[in-house]
Structure 1
Amino acid sequence: MTSVQQKIDRSRDLSQPLERLGPDETLKANSDQLRGTIAAGLAEELTAAVPGDDIKLMKFHGLYQQDDRDIRDERRRQKLEPAYT
Structure 2
Amino acid sequence: MLTIQVCVGSSCFLRGSKKIIAEIEKLIAEFQLDDKILLKGCFCHEKCTGGVTVMVGEKLFTGVAPKDVEEMFEQEILPAIKGDTECL
Shorter chain as normaliser: what TM range? under 0.3
TM-score w.r.t. structure 2 length? 0.23
Higher helix proportion, which one?
A: 2
Higher strand proportion, which one?
A: 2
Q: Which has the larger radius of gyration?
A: 1
Larger RCO (CA within 8 A; separation ≥ 6): 2
